[in-house]
DNA sequence: CCGATTTTGTTCTCACGTTCACAAACTCCT
DNA sequence: AGGAGTTTGTGAACGTGAGAACAAAATCGG
């Protein structure tokens, strides 16, 4: 995900005590599963139990956990509370991370109201928007503040994570301001590819991309019989393409 | 050595005309990049141009496109409109997919208002909620309807995609109802692992997991100097693990 | 028509991720 | 105590994905 980080040809892919990226992405899932088990009063769970709760295969889960260390007891399983704490510590949610949300439209609103903000570990310290009509509005127990205050807020509250919920247009500029202010992790909901300097992590959440991926598979399901398509248009058509009015060619 | 120049019929790793999943996930990004170029009045683009716009490496982009066919002209590049249409057709967004959104809380509201709903290709046909207080509410040009109407709506509008924006609790039940009604693709925003029968596709969007992944990397950045942590607790403590007061209640 | 130039499409190689399968380690029962 | 039964942790095999490099195909200038 982070394109930068110039990697030497011979350098180890897995950094010093580094956990594979695929595993990192699953740790939060395990954490949630453990919390659920804990809430159900279950004190011990086998890798099979945990894997089922997390929706993965048990061998994968064991291998993932083995990167953290050797918690767990052979012949018995994992102590739920103990493992939960270890994973939480490894992820870093035993401490609180300050978060700002920029762009208080529909989605920003929704995230601001998202009580609990996932699990603990994150604290929204400011809601920012450049629109004067929004500034001052109360959302839950917070007030929307002017985007111009960004730098002061980031410095004062040691903000390291920024969430971008603006439209596509201003997203890159917002991103640049966040980075300049000292934010080093960004969660981007705007439908654009943001570019950031090395050392800044970006993750992207994109509704329309998810839907399109579903559409692709959906199309293959329904279109399994009718594979007559692929009209094999002349690949070289002098540049002039006359695009059959999107939706014409394929009969449903 | 020319061992496998021709494809053996015995080892078709990739299904007939199947596109690798990683490539499928990038096609929507390319589609968006092409649309942006098109809107800028650019008629032709090289793989390098496109790759930059999409935020990937050009070799990867060319390989991805090669799975679709041989659009593009050597020495010239790709015709933007033509390629855009081909990708749109491959993804399946040249036709419209009917979508229902279940759970009209903060997030459901936001998605319902998300004008344009990504790119074209998707049509929200209903907003559903089980809460009588919400049923009847107008959102944009739509009205929230009772979840009980699900089956009728799915049948009437040939709905194949369902979006779940309920809390975690009712999500699995909503999911089961969707599947039973005939929905075969689900986009899940609820923080649970849903289980579905084979043939149904699920994609998950999870804010708190994304934040936790960022937190992990953030922790590694700041903790690079202070690596004094990791107390290296005795991994083997006679099976009796006495967990440093994280949550206590083991009995119950 | 021919050679220089550009850019695609594809092959090759390496790294990463997943799954299997099994030895090691622990509990329980006799 | 010892053997049977469980379950973890991990080595090895396999499959997928990424990137470098290059041959093939097109344009352009003379």
The count of other CB atoms within 10 Å of the CB of residue A220 is 17
pLDDT at B184: 98
Q: What are the chain A neighbours of B125 within 8 Å (beta carbons)? A: none
**pLDDT tens for each residue of A168-219:** 999 999 999 999 999 999 999 999 999 999 999 999 999 999 999 999 999 9
**pLDDT tens for each residue of B124-153:** 999 999 999 999 999 999 999 999 999 999
pLDDT at A247: 29
Q: Which nucleotide is nearest to A72 (CA to C1')?
A: D8
Strand bridging mode A201-204 / A185-188: parallel
Tokens found for residue B161:
């995609």
pLDDT at B120: 81
- SS3 call for B202: strand
Q: Classify residue B68 as left (phi > 0), alpha (psi -120 to 50) or beta.
A: alpha
Of A107, A211, A249, the CB nearest to B122: A211
pLDDT at A224: 60
- SS3 call for B237: coil
Lowest mean pLDDT among A36-50, B94-108, B238-252: B238-252
The set of strand C positions with any atom below 7 Å of a protein CB reads: 5-12, 15-21, 24-27
What is the C-alpha to C-alpha distance for residues B137 and B104, in angstroms, rounded to an integer? 10
pLDDT at B118 over 70: no
Residue nearest to nucleotide D14 (CA to C1'): B13
Please state the pTM of the whole predicted model: 0.86
Residue B57 CB in 7 A reach of strand D:
yes
One-letter-per-residue 3-state SS of chain A: CCCCCCCCCCCCCCCCCCCCHHHHHHHHHHHHHHHHHHHCCCCEECHHHHHHHHCCCHHHHHHHHHHHCCCCECCCEEEHHHHHHHHHHHHCCCCCEEEEEECCCHHHHHHHHCCCCCCCCEEEEEEEECCCCCCCCEECCEEEEEHHHHHHHHHHHCCCEEEECCCHHHHHHHHHHHHHHCCCEEEECCCCCCCCCCCCEEEECCHHHHHHHHHHHHHHHHCCCCCCCCCCCCCCCCCCCCCCCCCCCCCC
Mean pLDDT, chain A, whole residue set: 85
Q: Which nucleotide is nearest to B22 (CA to C1')?
A: D17
Q: What are the chain B neighbours of A244 within 8 Å (beta carbons)? A: 85
Residue B75 CB in 7 A reach of strand D:
yes
Percent of chain A predicted with pLDDT > 90 = 78
pLDDT at B119 over 80: no
Closest residue on chain B to A234 (Cα): B71
**pLDDT tens for each residue of B26-73:** 999 999 999 999 999 999 999 999 999 999 999 999 999 999 999 999
Lowest mean pLDDT among A21-25, A172-176, A248-252: A248-252
pLDDT at A251: 28
What is the C-alpha to C-alpha distance for residues B117 and B149, in angstroms, rounded to an integer? 23
Q: b/e string for A12-28 if b means 16 or more Cβ within 10 A?
A: eeeeeeebeeebbbbbb
pLDDT at A39 over 50: yes
pLDDT at A237: 35
Residue B175, min C-alpha distance to chain A (Å): 15
The set of strand D positions with any atom below 7 Å of a protein CB reads: 5-11, 15-21, 24-27
């Amino acid at each position: 995900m982070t394109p930068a980080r110039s990697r030497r040809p011979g350098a180890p892919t897995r950094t010093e005590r580094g956990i594979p990226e695929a595993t990192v992405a699953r740790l939060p899932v395990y954490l949630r599963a453990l919390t659920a088990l804990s809430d159900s009063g279950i004190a011990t769970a086998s890798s099979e139990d945990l894997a089922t709760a997390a929706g993965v295969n048990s061998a994968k889960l064991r291998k993932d956990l083995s990167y953290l260390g050797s918690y767990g007891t052979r012949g018995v399983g994992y102590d739920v509370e103990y493992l939960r704490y270890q994973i939480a510590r490894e992820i870093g949610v035993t401490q609180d991370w300050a978060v700002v949300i920029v762009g208080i439209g529909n989605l920003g609103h929704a995230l601001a109201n998202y009580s609990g903000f996932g699990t603990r570990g994150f604290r929204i310290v400011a809601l920012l928007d450049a629109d004067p009509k929004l500034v001052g509005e109360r959302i839950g127990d917070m007030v929307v503040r002017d985007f111009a205050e960004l730098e002061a807020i980031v410095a004062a509250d040691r903000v390291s994570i920024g969430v971008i919920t603006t439209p596509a247009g201003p997203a890159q500029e917002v991103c640049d301001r966040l980075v300049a202010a000292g934010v080093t992790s960004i969660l981007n909901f705007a439908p654009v590819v943001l570019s950031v300097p090395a050392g800044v992590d970006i993750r992207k959440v994109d509704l329309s991309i998810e839907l399109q991926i579903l559409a692709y598979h959906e199309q293959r399901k329904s279109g399994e019989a009718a594979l007559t398509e692929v009209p094999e248009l002349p690949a070289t058509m002098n540049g002039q393409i006359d695009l059959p009015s999107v939706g014409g060619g394929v009969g449903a």
